[in-house]
């Protein structure tokens, strides 16, 4: 079991550190390792009838790869993970995730018919039968959508359940036959990686390679038809043809996965790795790669876990492996993860808070014509209409960011040069924007304050320069107050040597 964890953990760092420059990699990897450790551990705890020694023995058997059945199972799981992950990314970006679900249920009657062809689990016959049934299912879905007023979801659910029911009927009929009972065809429902044989692995390798080659050759066409069907039509790309090529490849991927994952859960192997990849990147090519890797990991993990105990189905473990990856990406994704977005939102909120405090300090200073240096907590609190405690908290926050220094037991706030510069910049943004709105957008002067309150925190240098240019370097805002100039900002916090022409001596009107 240790080996599995270290293997997965050693494969992941390269992948993640390459992508997550903003995230601290150490904390992330620790969480990842902890979760990977937790999965087998909690699983082991659940198996009451197996003692620890047999678990370890089973795990050892798995990693020494002496058993040919282990080699086939692992190779098969990895291949199916790759092909499902790769093709799944296309259906996820096309918002067709549940087509994969319908397709995977619809192949069941084809499996049964393929089995009946020569009454054995001939991989090729089953593959052909199932692929045809899957394609037929997607065609029926399209037809129902085109010729009735039923919507896509209804058509999908309808085809999925009816085809599946037909398959179940056939399966129960086969099991009634004298030869059918021990055929192991019921393993197609939940999957058993141990049932994968050399013939299956060969077929899986062929299907995966073909899918890979087709995607490589027609990558551009798949990209365009996925994101911009109208443009594809203009460019002369037959979108219908590529739709059905994709469906054919998907049916192939689903069918080779049946043996190990089972009919019911194959759709998860299509959707979940691709959705995890979708959370981590914006480029389709990277998404396809990531998704294939996630599929591979989930496949390997699932075949390993189901090998540990007798009669454990493989499919559900693979699905849970894929879900674990998704949960990690959902929470800790470097760009769209919940955690990182929460942190970003909080840091933005505290930055706005700091800037507002600086602005209030500026206003206090301005109110007494910039005479005297420090601003007392009481003045700040009055200005912001807050309690003194709140003002004290904010002043400490400023000190923490080296924007101000505190004197007289924290009662007097002095801005540092950086703080002064930032305070001027915010006030300047605010007043410039007010002036711009009144002059250029002709909004009444008493309506512009609210808008400026919001935008002052997000105006960039370039926009400020552009506004200044358009306003011909105006010096006063619509309310008659002076707009701090660049030279005021560079002067720093010291107010004693302020020249009369500059900001400090403009009287309020």
Residues that bind other proteins (CB under 8 A): 46-47, 92, 95-98, 100-101, 105, 116, 144, 147-151, 153-154, 156-158, 160-162, 164-166, 168-170, 172-174, 176-178, 186, 189-190, 264-265, 267-268, 270-272, 274-275, 278-279, 309, 311-313, 315-317, 319-320, 323, 326, 330, 336, 338
DSSP 471-501: TTS--B-TTSPBPPPHHHHHH-S--TT--TT
What distances in angstroms separate CA 329 from CA 82, 275, 360, 402, one per listed residue?
18, 9, 41, 35
Find the shortest distance in angstroms from Cβ 303 to other proteins: 14
In eight-state DSSP terms, residue 506 is P
Task: Rank residues 299 and 315 by Cβ distance to other proteins and give the closer one.
Answer: 315
Q: Give every CB contact of residue 243 below 8 A, 6+ residues apart in sequence.
A: 225
Find the shortest distance in angstroms from Cβ 101 to other proteins: 6
Reference 372, options 235, 501, 502, 493; nearest CA is 493
Reference 28, options 328, 352, 412; nearest CA is 328
Question: Rounded to the nearest 5 degrees, what angle is found at the Cα of 474, between the Cα atoms of 473 and 479?
Answer: 155
Given the DSSP bridges, would you call strands 412-415 and 404-407 parallel, antiparallel or unpaired? Answer: antiparallel
Distance CA 60, CA 270 (A): 30
Collapse the DSSP code of 11 into the 3-class scheme (helix H, G, I; strand E, B; otherwise coil) and give the result: helix
Task: Rank residues 100 and 506 by Cβ distance to other proteins and give the closer one.
Answer: 100
Task: Rank residues 17 and 154 by Cβ distance to other proteins and give the closer one.
Answer: 154
Collapse the DSSP code of 125 into the 3-class scheme (helix H, G, I; strand E, B; otherwise coil) and give the result: helix
Find the shortest distance in angstroms from Cβ 76 to other proteins: 19
**Burial class of residue 217, CB neighbours in 10 A (0-12, 13-18, 19+):** exposed
Task: Rank residues 36 and 422 by Cβ distance to other proteins and give the closer one.
Answer: 36
Find the shortest distance in angstroms from Cβ 151 to other proteins: 5
Find the shortest distance in angstroms from Cβ 177 to other proteins: 6
Which tokens in the block code for residue 39? 């999965």
Find the shortest distance in angstroms from Cβ 270 to other proteins: 8
In the numeric block, the tokens 């659910």 are attached to 157
Task: Rank residues 337 and 484 by Cβ distance to other proteins and give the closer one.
Answer: 337
CB 137 within 8 A of CB 157: no
Task: Rank residues 39 and 435 by Cβ distance to other proteins and give the closer one.
Answer: 39
Find the shortest distance in angstroms from Cβ 147 to other proteins: 6
CA 287 distance to own-chain centroid:
10
Task: Rank residues 124 and 177 by Cβ distance to other proteins and give the closer one.
Answer: 177
Collapse the DSSP code of 325 into the 3-class scheme (helix H, G, I; strand E, B; otherwise coil) and give the result: helix
Distance CA 441, CA 436 (A): 7
Find the shortest distance in angstroms from Cβ 329 to other proteins: 9
Distance CA 26, CA 17 (A): 9
In eight-state DSSP terms, residue 376 is E
Distance CA 77, CA 269 (A): 11
Task: Rank residues 144 and 381 by Cβ distance to other proteins and give the closer one.
Answer: 144
Task: Rank residues 345 and 378 by Cβ distance to other proteins and give the closer one.
Answer: 345
What are the backbone angles phi and psi of residue 353, rounded to the nearest 5°?
Answer: -60, -45
What distances in angstroms separate CA 129 from CA 112, 126, 257, 322, 501, one per listed residue?
8, 5, 15, 28, 88
Task: Rank residues 8 and 276 by Cβ distance to other proteins and give the closer one.
Answer: 276
Find the shortest distance in angstroms from Cβ 360 to other proteins: 35
Task: Rank residues 95 and 233 by Cβ distance to other proteins and give the closer one.
Answer: 95
Find the shortest distance in angstroms from Cβ 168 to other proteins: 4
Find the shortest distance in angstroms from Cβ 458 to other proteins: 23
């Amino acid at each position: 079991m240790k080996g599995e964890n270290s293997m997965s953990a050693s494969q992941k760092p390269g992948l993640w550190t390459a992508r997550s420059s903003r995230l601290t990699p150490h904390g992330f990897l620790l969480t990842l390792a902890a979760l990977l450790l937790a999965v087998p551990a909690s699983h082991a705890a659940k198996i009451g009838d197996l003692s620890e020694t047999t678990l370890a023995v089973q795990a050892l058997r798995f990693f020494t790869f002496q058993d040919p059945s282990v080699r086939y199972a692992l190779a098969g799981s990895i291949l199916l993970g790759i092909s499902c992950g790769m093709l799944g990314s296309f259906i996820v970006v096309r918002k067709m995730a549940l087509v994969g679900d319908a397709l995977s249920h619809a192949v069941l009657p084809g499996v049964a018919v393929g089995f009946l062809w020569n009454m054995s689990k001939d991989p090729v016959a089953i593959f052909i039968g199932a692929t045809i049934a899957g394609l037929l299912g997607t065609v029926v879905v399209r037809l129902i959508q085109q010729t009735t007023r039923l919507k896509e979801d209804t058509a999908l659910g309808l085809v999925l359940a009816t085809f599946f029911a037909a398959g179940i009927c056939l399966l129960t009929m086969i099991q009634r036959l004298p030869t059918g009972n021990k055929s192991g065809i019921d393993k197609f429902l939940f999957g058993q990686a141990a049932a994968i044989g050399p013939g299956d692995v060969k077929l899986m390798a062929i299907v995966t390679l073909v899918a890979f080659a087709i995607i490589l050759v027609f990558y551009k066409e798949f990209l365009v038809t996925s994101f911009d069907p109208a443009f594809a039509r203009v460019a002369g790309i037959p979108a219908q043809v590529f739709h059905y090529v994709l469906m054919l490849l998907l049916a192939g991927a689903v069918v080779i996965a049946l043996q190990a994952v089972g009919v019911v859960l194959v759709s998860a192997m299509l959707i979940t790795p691709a959705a995890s990849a979708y959370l981590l990147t914006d480029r389709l090519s990277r998404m396809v790669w990531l998704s294939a890797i996630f599929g591979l990991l989930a496949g390997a993990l699932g075949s390993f876990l189901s090998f540990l105990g007798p009669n454990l189905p493989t499919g559900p473990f693979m699905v849970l492996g894929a879900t674990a990856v998704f949960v990690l990406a959902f929470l800790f994704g470097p760009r769209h993860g919940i955690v990182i977005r929460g942190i970003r939102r909080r840091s933005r909120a505290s930055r706005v808070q700091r800037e507002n405090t600086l602005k209030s300090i500026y206003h206090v200073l301005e109110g007494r014509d910039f005479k005297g240096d420090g601003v007392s907590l009481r003045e700040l609190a009055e200005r912001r209409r807050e309690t003194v405690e709140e003002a004290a908290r904010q002043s400490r926050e400023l000190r923490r960011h080296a924007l101000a220094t505190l004197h007289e037991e924290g009662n007097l706030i002095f801005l540092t040069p950086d703080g002064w510069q930032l305070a001027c910049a915010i006030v300047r943004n605010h007043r410039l924007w007010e002036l711009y709105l009144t002059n250029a957008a002709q909004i009444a002067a008493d309506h512009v304050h609210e808008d400026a309150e919001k935008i002052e925190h997000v105006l960039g240098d370039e926009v400020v320069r552009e506004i200044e240019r358009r306003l011909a370097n105006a010096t006063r805002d619509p309310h008659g107050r002076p707009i701090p100039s660049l030279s005021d900002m560079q002067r720093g916090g010291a107010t004693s040597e302020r020249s009369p022409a500059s900001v400090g001596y403009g009287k309020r009107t």
